[in-house]
Amino acid sequence: MLFFVAIIAICGILYELLIGTLSSYLIGNSVQQFSFVIGFFMSGMGIGAYFSRFLEKNNLKNFFLIELILSIVGASSVILLKFSYIYFVNYSFSFQIIYFLITLSIGTLVGMEIPLVASIYKKLNLSSKSIVSDIFTFDYIGGLIASLIFPLFLLPVLGLYNISIFVGSINLFVAICYLFYLKKKGITEISFKKYFTFIFLVICYFVSLLFLNIKIENIYLQHFYKEPILQTFESPYQQIVLTKRGDDFRMYLNGNLQFLSLDERIYHEALIDRPLGNIPNREISALVLGGGDGLAARNLLKNPNVSSITLVDLDPKVLEIAKTEKNLLALNEGSLLNPKVKIYTQDAFQFIINTKEKFDFIIADFPDPRDTSIAKLYSKEFYTGVLGTLKEYGVFVTQASNAFFSNKVLFSTEKTISSVFGSALAYHRYLPSFGDWGFVVAKKNGIIDKKALCGESNCFHFEKVYLEGTQNLSINTLAEPRMIDYYGEGYKKYNL
């Protein structure tokens, strides 16, 4: 029975991680979503533990039925959440109610398991002085195993949809093994033969889910991506989707457009080529933080003064795609295969804090600050590390979200960088795919040449409407990551 305890503990934690990860993909703000999932899941476990007392009379049968029900609900959880999200895409509150109910339901079923196992021990006269500690020992060991295999193996290999079926199958396996265990003990109150039809139907349901995997996933994805989908990938960090219609090739990360091939060169000219004009005419060592698609490195390699490029990206899957996928390889011109480019697969914050190297040009090409894991890369502490990593008169530039919809993000970024560098300059460039996009540039012990940055345009000038609500913005720090609030406020204001 202790074997069952460890297995059901693994399943319980995996369901929790599964729902937390999926809700982070769908809604964003991973800290908030995991907090909600943990809260509702634990509450459900408390409810389940309470109501388990009413199931102890027929505990042998009820434990089996709970495992059977949990296997079905757990295996269906990803499908239910994804299609609820599609249906309620314009009614986020309604979707969150469904997502909380699914979390609460699974938590309740999981919460019934351990008390029932303890009562079964008592009924079968298996109890000992250490039975409670034994049960919790195996329960916690199972939790540790689940927390390790989910990010390291299950997520990158199976993906969320298949993980839900896999974990549901484990609950079904526990139910079947439990029946044989009772038979071995000579208990005929509940038998495999009696419940064969139920087990067979559940197995058929799981097999149908596996066979319909690609079709179901495509229906879900195509609802959000209007262009034909080329490939989808799941890494421990994000879902990656590649689409293409004619010459229009796109990459999406967690449903957010990363680039569009038809106008990404405008973005990278603003991010790379223009700030390069502020660096003295000398050999330039460049550091790209993010930019795993290789497009920033491509632009840098075209400048004859750039002698070396160090690229730091957290997600090895994005780097692999950039080196092997033919459409992206053609777009980035094989930049990541160039011997001038040295690649590190690690967190950019840790790299900046720990590196001893100095660079002439540092580019931060991160996603928008939707949650704390990204907001730290827009913090005063991070920019302090950047300043220390720059050579004298070196230049730092970062993308800073939509200049109109996320104006608070843009100008809070400018204010935060100014607090470290002494001064910084926000500028913007119109992109057909993204709208008016914001950037911030700063120079170590120097002044930005506005003409070199903007040419004949007035890219550092902002109309009055862009400045609304930006007068008293806070500096973004690790202790107070206000950037997340600013990002959410902007998009909520315009119902985006």
Which residues are identified as catalytic? 365
Residue type, 24: S
478: helix, strand or coil: coil
> How many angstroms separate the Cα of 134 from the Cα of each of 63, 126, 128, 145, 253?
19, 12, 9, 17, 43
Whether the Cβ atoms of residue 230 and residue 244 lie closer than 8 Å to each other: yes
User: Is residue 276 classed as helix, strand or coil in its secondary structure?
Assistant: helix
Which residues are CB-contacts of 258 (< 8 A; sequence separation ≥ 6)?
Answer: 250, 251, 252, 293, 367
Cα–Cα dist 369/29, whole Å:
9
Q: What phi and psi values does residue 236 have, to the nearest 5 degrees?
A: -65, -10
Classify 205 as helix, strand or coil.
Answer: helix
- Report helix, strand or coil for 481: coil
Nearest of 105, 102, 100, 117 to residue 8 by alpha carbon: 117
Q: Which residues contact 196 (CB under 8 A, 6 or more apart)?
A: none
Residue 368 to residue 484: CA distance in whole angstroms:
9
Kindly report the backbone phi and psi dihedral angles of residue 141, in degrees, each rounded to the nearest multiple of 5, phi listed first: -65, -40
Q: Judge whether 372 and 484 are in contact, CB under 8 Å.
A: yes
Q: Find, among 291, 266, 260, the residue nearest to 431 by Cα.
A: 266
Cα separation, 284 vs 109, in Å, equals: 60
User: Could you give the CA distance from residue 170 to residue 160 in angstroms, rounded to a whole number?
Assistant: 15
Helices (H), 52-91: 59-87
Residue 44: both structure tokens together:
């459900």
Q: Which residue has the tokens 């060991």?
A: 141
DSSP state of 150: I
Q: Tell me if 266 sits within 8 A of 273, measured CB to CB.
A: no
Measured between alpha carbons, how far apart are the two ends of the chain, in Å? 51
Give whole-number Cα distances, 289 to 109, 237, 379, in Å.
Answer: 44, 16, 14
Rg of the Cα trace of the chain?
27
